[in-house]
Amino acid sequence: MTLEECRRFFAEEVRFAAALPSSPLVDAFAHVPREQFVGPGPWQLGTITGMGGVVYTTSEDADPRRVYHNALISLDPDRGLNNGQPSALANWINALELKPGERVFHLGCGVGYYTAIMAEIVGPTGEVVASEVHSELAARSKENLSSWKNVTVHAQDGIDVDPGPCHAMLINAGVTHPQTPLARSATGARPAGFAPDDRAWDVRRRPRGHGQDRSPAPHLFRFGRVLHCNLFLHQRA
């Protein structure tokens, strides 16, 4: 099987696992070279267990075809960072209902793989603004995404980035005290509301096993479509 055939087979596997109705999203998974983003092999491939843990196994060799499975790929074992499970991220990206020409903010882009997936969907007339707080990952992301001219990567905390008017936002990060720049950046987006500054909220990681949170966050941002990956909101007493 050629590398191109592996990518297409992988994309169809993701389509089935995530029940994707979106052909452009599936095509993006078939086109973006995952091996370009996850570093040289052999790779640590992770399988999510029924208890919410992850079991890693080492690929047999550095053949790039090894990365085309619906599996996590370890990026930094010491910090527990990985490339994410494709079907899970596909589900979240699909929920954003991205269209050609739209602008997206990806907060916590890691090494940029899923940023590239979204850049493929919005196309050359659209734009993806990305941020990554870890300097090493941000540098890798900038290099990895150099071929996507519709992507800008900021090597800084996403809360300090003003991406400008956006149609959608994907959050791959956790914070405890949301601040105002993100809310101000949504002028012109389809409104979802924003709470007054005197309303205090905590944003914490969703405990394992609680599934994904697809709900928009009208109390935080004025983006038309906001998706928190593995985050949940808790209002302070």
CATH 3.40.50.150 domain span(s) along the chain = 87-235
Whole-structure pTM value: 0.78
pLDDT value of position 7: 97
Q: Which of 195, 138, 193 is nearest to 161 (CA)?
A: 138
SS3 content of the chain, % helix, strand, coil (to 5): 30, 20, 50
Task: Give the Cα-Cα-Cα angle 89, 84, 152 (nearest 5 degrees).
Answer: 75
Contact status, residue 144 vs residue 150, Cβ threshold 8 Å: no
Of 236, 155, 157, 154, the closest CA to residue 203 belongs to 236
CATH code that applies to domain 87-235: 3.40.50.150
* Longest pairwise C-alpha distance within the chain: 58
Give the tens place of pLDDT for each residue, 130-145: 999 999 999 999 999 9
Range 152-177 average pLDDT: 84
Mean per-residue pLDDT for 194-220? 33
H-helix or E-strand containing 233?
strand 231-235
Whole-number Å distance between alpha carbons of 218 and 196:
11
Q: Which amino acid would we find at residue 192?
A: A
Question: What is the predicted pLDDT for the residue at 102?
Answer: 95
Per-residue pLDDT tens over the stretch 84-135: 999 999 999 999 999 999 999 999 999 999 999 999 999 999 999 999 999 9
Token representation of residue 25: 């999203």
39-57: pLDDT as tens digits? 999 999 998 887 778 889 9
Nearest to 112 by CA among 33, 196, 16: 33
